[in-house]
Amino acid sequence: MSGHSKWSTIKRKKGANDAKRGKIFTKLIKEITIAARMGGGDPAGNPRLRSAIIAAKSENMPKDNIARAIKKGTGDLDGAVYEEILYEGYGPGGVAVLVETMTDNKNRTVADIRHFFAKSGGNLGESGCVAWMFDKKGSVMVDREGVDEDELMEVALEAGAEDILEEETTFQILTAVDDFAEVVEALEKNGITCAEAGISMIPKNTVEVTEEKTARSLLKLLDNLEDNDDVQKVHANFDIADDLMENLS
């Protein structure tokens, strides 16, 4: 199991408590706000906002929270002004890491990001050093339990999905960014629940992590980054065998 799907599974297991849920909501609200600020408050004419709303709904965010975030973005309500910054670097084992941030203080943010990389034995790199290793895709995670695999594949592929990856407990559906919303809507219309849905950076190739110490350092780095208030999303191109993952849990 690799990269995005592996890290998504870990995060979902660790993020069940209320404190983690609050952080997820905060990140989603930031994304909705900046999407509305950049492209307007109508999801029909703003693909980024539409995708952000889908991601929020997949986390069961209340409609009122979504509406307030849109109004902050369009200027109908007061709110902080955020700047988007992408940081790139290498983690333990030479794993490429992309860190999407939204911040109102970039000096604070870069200091925190650099500290986390250095603490793990990795290093923060220059712009462009690892981004080329990833493709921007729509990503939908569906729990395997209670899902008819043939129906899932038929619905997803007919709606425009590019690929469906089978994992131990989930299916990961990959789409072109432009087809993401249509695929999610098709799944929901057919009663298939999306455990997680959003636009993600999918690694073109992965780096195999075989040593337990390296794996622990890498997951600690990703966890520290995810837990930072200025960080929106973290992407990495690692692969950890399932038997090693069992030792880490």
Evaluate if residue 1 carries a pLDDT over 60: no
Question: Are residue 47 and residue 157 in the same domain, yes or no?
Answer: no
Instruction: Note whether 141 and 172 are within 8 A (CB).
Output: yes
**How many domains is the chain partitioned into structurally?**
3
Distance CA 106, CA 109 (A): 5
Question: Are residue 158 and residue 190 in the same domain, yes or no?
Answer: yes
Question: Are residue 68 and residue 94 in the same domain, yes or no?
Answer: no
Sign of the CA dihedral running 25, 58, 167, 87: negative
Q: What are phi and psi of 175, to 5 degrees?
A: -135, 160
Question: Are residue 57 and residue 120 in the same domain, yes or no?
Answer: no
CATH number assigned to the domain comprising residue 169: 3.30.70.980
Question: Are residue 185 and residue 218 in the same domain, yes or no?
Answer: no
* Model confidence band, residue 167 (pLDDT cutoffs 50, 70, 90): confident
The domain in which residue 33 lies consists of: 3-74
- DSSP symbol at 172: E
Question: Are residue 112 and residue 233 in the same domain, yes or no?
Answer: yes
Question: Are residue 52 and residue 114 in the same domain, yes or no?
Answer: no
Instruction: Note whether 244 and 132 are within 8 A (CB).
Output: no
CB-based contacts of 45: which residues, under 8 Å, 6+ apart?
A: 39
Question: Are residue 123 and residue 225 in the same domain, yes or no?
Answer: yes
The residue whose two tokens read 């029909």 is 44
Question: Are residue 64 and residue 9 in the same domain, yes or no?
Answer: yes
Q: What is the pLDDT of residues 124-157, one digit of tens each?
A: 999 999 999 999 999 999 998 889 999 999 999 9
The DSSP bridge partners found for residue 85 are 101
Q: What is the pLDDT of residue 12?
A: 58
Question: Are residue 111 and residue 224 in the same domain, yes or no?
Answer: yes
Hey, what are 69's tokens? 């975030």
This prediction has a pTM of 0.86
